[in-house]
Structures are given as C-alpha cells and as structure tokens.
Chains A and B, each alone.
Chain A
Amino acid sequence: MRMTLKVLVLGITTILLCTNCVNLKHIGEFSVTSIEGIEQFETVSPGFLKICRQDCQQKHIRKLDIHNTDCDCEENEKADSITRVIYHTTKDYFYGLSDLSNNELTSYKTNDFTQALATGDFGPIQLNESDVKAYSDISTLLLRAFTDSFRRKKIKEYVAQAHDPLLKLLDFLELNLTGNLNGKLEVQKSGLKNFYFDFLKDDKLSDYERTKFAEDYFQRISEIAIQQKELDNYTKILRDIAQGHTILYTNVSRMTDEEVRKELAGYGRQMGNTILSLHRM
C-alpha cells in the first residue's frame, strides 16, 4: 500500500514537472531566438565611434593632409556606450527569461551592466526619468530572478512587469541604430558625393582617372548601403521581439494556450529567417 502511494506520488510529480517543462518550452525557445537576434548587434552595428573616425579620415583625405590627424570622437564614444548598455540590458533580460522558462537558473550570471546601472556611471550622458526607470526595472527583475525562490512560478508576473520597460528599451535601440546611426551613414554618403562629384566634372583629368573616381565612389556607396540594409534587418528582429513579447504579455493568464504557442513560434520563425538573411549578406 505504502509502495503504491509512493509510486503514485512520484508519478504525479513527474507528470507535473514534465507538463510544466513542456508548457514553458515555447517561451524558452522564443527567448533563445530573441537572444540570437539581439546578438546580431555585434555584427551589424558599425558603431558611432567607427563612423566618426571614418568621417575624420575622409576630412584629412579631402585636405590631402596626413599630419596632425587627431579626431575628436568623444561624443560618439558616449553614444556607443549608451547604446551598448541598452543592448546588454535587453539581451540579459532574455537570458533571464530563457533560464526561467528552461529551469536552468544556475547558468545565469549577472553582468557588468548591472553594476554600471547601479552606480549610474555614464559620465555626462543624461537619461530621462522613464528611461532610467526602464533600465532599473529590467535589472531589478533580473536580480529578483536570483533571489526569489518561487521565480519559476512567477514567470508570468515577470513578463507582465518587464513588458513596458522592455518595449521602451527596444524602441531606444531602434532609434539609436536605425535612426541615428543610419542617419550618420546617410550623411557619409552625401559627403562622398560632395567629394567625388568635382573630380568627375574635372576635364583636366583623363577619362581613365575620372572613371576610376566613379568606380571608387560607387564601391564606397555600396559598402555603406550594405551596412544600412543590415541595420534595417536588425530593426525587423527588434520589432519581432517586441511583438512576440506583446503576445506573451497580452496572454499572460493563458501563456500555455496553443494559439499563443503558434503565434510565438511564428515570430520565432520570422526572426530566424531575418537572422539567416543577415548571415548571407
């Protein structure tokens, strides 16, 4: 009798555990794809500093000057640092969500960003109140994920709490990358046209020289266009992440429904395709 009861309890526990694992698997998979998507940042973003240095170099080329070629790119370094903080915070939220849904919390470790956020060590960078709140909300959630013994049970609560700040961070990342960084690339293209145009019009140069200038110009423009296309694809990933998370958030009380699974899988597939096309570029 005692043995039967033991087997029964063990059986029920196993079923419960397995059901729970399976139920949250789609959230884990969505998180993993989101992480892979967000991490494309490392390859698609040329960074503000790099563009500033390229512009500075172009300025010296224009002046035919290779002496005293220092560049003041301090402000661009700040732009990179703030963008990276947003990137890491967003990425780490999904690492947390993935670990929570996969029940692998031991593998999760806090990163330097948490410390950076806690100390507010951004130099002269100003963040408005709601953005600071977005960072602190996300990092608080992650910290709670370590300390809360009922963390796994509270995954729904975390998704609900993280939703607004997460969307804000995704928006901010999009603004800095496809807004500001892409804008700087547009300026670069205009600057190159300003530079090359006169060579092509200069009839003191041979046709061969002018052709070479034209080829050089088109080569550089197409390199920039590829970077812009990559940034554009990255935005698609960020939007899929936002929409997928919105599905979770709006269905927070029925996260395990088949419909939610399907929709989430759809966004996951879409992201997968975009990541694939980024790799092919």
Chain B
Amino acid sequence: MPNLTSQQVKELADNLLRMTNALGNYRYENFDRLSEDENMRIKELHLKQLEDTTQLYTKAAVLVMDDVEISLQNIDSITQETRALYKKLGTVQMVLDRATSILTLATAIIGLNPKEITSSIKSLLAPVV
C-alpha cells in the first residue's frame, strides 16, 4: 500500500468520524433497550473511536504521504455501509463486532501499518450475515 497524502488522511478521519457518530447515535436511539453492560461497552467503544479520530486529524495535519486512491474508495464504501448497517443490524453483538473492527482499522491507520489497514478493510468489506 503506497503512502497517504495529508488530504487523504483528513478524509479518512472524516469517514472515521461518520462511522463513530453512527455508533454513538445507535446507543442514543437504543438506550432504553440496551442492558447496562451493553450500554457501557458501546459507550467505551464510541469514546475510543473518538480518541482515534481526533488523533487522526492531528496526523493529517502533520503527515504528508503519497497517493492511494483505491484505499480511499474502499474506505468510502465502508463508511456508507457502516452508516446504513447500524440502522438494520439485528443484534447488539453484531454492533459490538462492527465497532471493534472499526477500532482495529483506526489503530492500523494511526500506526500507518499497511498490512493491518488492508486486512481491516477486507474484514469490514466482507458481507454481514
């Protein structure tokens, strides 16, 4: 995977924020149906995703890397899917799994780990059963 430009890292952060906000909205909208434990777990995952997102915006401001159009397109599709997905996911477990996978992707991007980024993208692009 080639390097990312500053603009692209910013776009990744924008997408990560959209995914993160979708998770937050899921919790706010389903608060009364979630158990205390589920609520806490999603709240913590949401918080961790927010921390990663703000870190990524800072990275975008200091990092300048090469182009990587395909990965961006992939992230765009992941973002769109994720936002739609939270609306139709049947079980809380699936929401938790999805949120954890996004965290893995965020960690890989922050660490600029091309292998991990690719594998996280693959796992997120896999159809949800």
Q: Which residues of A contact B (CB under 8 A)?
A: 48, 51-52, 55, 75-76, 78-79, 82-83, 125-128, 131, 172, 175-176, 179-181, 183-184, 186-188, 190-191, 193-194, 197-198, 201
Q: Report yes or no: B5 in contact with A128, Cβ–Cβ below 8 A.
A: yes
> What's the least CB distance linking B36 to chain A, in Å?
10
- Measured between alpha carbons, how far is A76 from B61 in the docked complex, in Å? 9
**Which residues on B sit within 8 Å (CB–CB) of A175?**
6-7, 10, 60-61
- Measured between alpha carbons, how far is A172 from B63 in the docked complex, in Å? 12
Per-residue interface assignment for chain B, residues 13 to 29, with 1 indicating a CB less than 8 Å from any chain A CB and 0 otherwise: 11001001100100110
Q: Report yes or no: A194 in contact with B50, Cβ–Cβ below 8 A.
A: yes
Cβ-closest 7 pairs across A and B: A79-B61, A183-B57, A128-B64, A187-B54, A180-B61, A180-B57, A179-B10
- Measured between alpha carbons, how far is A224 from B61 in the docked complex, in Å? 20
Using a Cβ–Cβ cut-off of 8 Å, how many residues does chain B contribute to the interface with A? 31
CB within 8 Å: A-B pair count: 86
Q: Report yes or no: B64 in contact with A131, Cβ–Cβ below 8 A.
A: yes
- Measured between alpha carbons, how far is A88 from B119 in the docked complex, in Å? 41
**Which residues on B sit within 8 Å (CB–CB) of A191?**
47, 50
- Measured between alpha carbons, how far is A181 from B51 in the docked complex, in Å? 14
- Measured between alpha carbons, how far is A267 from B93 in the docked complex, in Å? 55
Partner of A194, one of B47, B59, B61, B63: B47
**Which residues on B sit within 8 Å (CB–CB) of A128?**
5, 64-65
Q: Does B46 contact A (CB under 8 A)?
A: yes
